[in-house]
Amino acid sequence: MNETEDLGWALAFVIGRIEQEATRSGEALSEEQRFLLHNLPRESSLPAMNGGDPEAPLPTIPRDLAYERLISLARDAYRHDLGVNPAGVEWKIAFAVSKLNRHPMAWLLAWAGMKERRPWWDRAGLVGAALLLTGTALALMIFAGLGGGTRLRWIGAGTACIAMALLIGYASSHLERWQLRQRLEKYRRTSVGSEK
């Protein structure tokens, strides 16, 4: 399958399971909930929080009852399926595919309680990247400061620090997508193995 077909399958699976769970609960989805499920927002419509002034009043944030119900139904459907099949491979595939495609369904599934397992070396990689960036920045600043610290040296050091930060960000994003693809292939192999 390609990524478009994968995403189509994942969305159809999750939407179908949420609608089935709504029917099983005795209260079918309203038109508003069904529309929201098929057209999940790609960004929040809530205002950004300003944490600068501790005495500023917190804005009142309205509850989105339709979205909360979808989350609750997704959670119930996921738990029900785990009771029937503890592996829950279809849900894992749907979560990985929606996250890989940066679809808002990944947010809904995360709010519903789905978690992705990180590899054991993920934290060590994060610490290593931080040390690399800090060490490089420190070395470049020392280099720029030696010999009087001309303006050109400082500009070069700053540019190199920015380039290193961008490179680490790109590498991190690329690594995350690679991990998701590997996990997706593992889930598929598990799914095919369990069907035999």
Q: Which residues contact 183 (CB under 8 A, 6 or more apart)?
A: 92, 96, 116
Tell me the whole-structure pTM to 2 decimals: 0.69
Q: Give the confidence band of 84 by pLDDT, cuts at 50, 70, 90.
A: confident
Residue 23: CB atoms within 10 Å: 12
Q: Are residues 30 and 82 in the same domain?
A: yes
Q: Are residues 184 and 107 in the same domain?
A: no
Q: Is residue 4 domain-resident? A: yes
Whether the predicted pLDDT of 151 surpasses 70? yes
Q: Are residues 106 and 129 in the same domain?
A: no
Q: Give the confidence band of 160 by pLDDT, cuts at 50, 70, 90.
A: confident
Q: Are residues 12 and 78 in the same domain?
A: yes
State the residue range of the domain holding 105. 1-45+63-116
CB 59 within 8 A of CB 123: no
CB 91 within 8 A of CB 16: no
Q: Is residue 58 domain-resident? A: no
Reading phi first (left if > 0) and then psi (alpha if -120 to 50, else beta), residue 15 is in: alpha
Q: How many domains does the chain have?
A: 2
- Average pLDDT, integer, range 143-155: 75
